[in-house]
Amino acid sequence: MKSNSSAKKLTALVTGGNRGIGLATVERLAREGYHVILAARDMESADVETARLRNEGLRVESQALDVSSSTSIDEAVASLTSRGIIVDILVNNAGVLPKGTLFELSEKEIADSLAVHVTGPLRLIRALAPAMAQRRHGRIVNISSGWGSFAEGLGGPGAYGWTKAALNALTLRLSRDLPDSVKVNAMCPGWVRTRMGGADANVSPAQAADTAFWLATLSANGPTGGFFRDRRPIEW
């Protein structure tokens, strides 16, 4: 484990942290010495992964959080506050991938896509970022996708690409509304071997988590309001 004293004083919250890119990001941050809140909708798997990491001596706690529910977000923030936990780093990783065109998706699938990719992250940022600004330190990482890039063709199934594009737009807008001490960036992890990406994908969760870790731990002169893949800027 990293002995960096500054890392030990910082806490990261990762949504959708019970598997895939989210879990890999939790592990990377924890192994580098950060205190990590593994937030997930599926608490059974979240508790299993948290116990595994804690058994390795890592500072990880689980937290129930459904980012599509404003009530769940409010309850999670209240729970963290009651436990005296201050969030310095927020990684908005939770995602959904309903299949079908916009004409085939149900109203619920469209609403869930918007909630998980756009309004949920915004609610969490609105809840946590003001305190980051007061402390003059914060890092927000929005896990987006090349499918949300106009430059790359706005691809993916019906609701995925355009809601990720909205997340990208939100990232850029927030960078103008937040002080430079609170860095907010979006990233494309690539095609990752997860339940969503499938077994044929060419990027491991750990490889994808590297850029998330980098953005979560940027120095004071690091970028804000950008879109990145493999630690390099890409076009919106």
Spatial strand order of the sheet with 60-64 comes to: 60-64, 35-40, 11-15, 89-92, 138-143, 182-187, 227-229, 232-233
Angle, in degrees to the nearest 10, between helices 20-31 and 205-216: 60
Q: Annotated active-site positions, please?
A: 160
What is the distance between the alpha carbons of residues 26 and 47, in angstroms, rounded to a whole number?
Answer: 13
Kindly state the greatest CA–CA separation across the chain.
Answer: 53
Determine phi and psi for 181, rounding to 5 degrees: -70, -15
**Cα distance between residue 125 and residue 44, in whole Å:** 26
Distance CA(89)–CA(95), nearest Å, equals 18
Start-to-end CA span in the chain (Å):
36
3-state secondary structure 17-64: CCCHHHHHHHHHHHHCCCEEEEEECCHHHHHHHHHHHHHCCCCEEEEE
- The CA distance from 149 to 165, in Å, is 6
Using DSSP, state whether 192 is helix, strand or coil: strand
What Rg do the C-alpha atoms of the chain give, in angstroms? Answer: 16
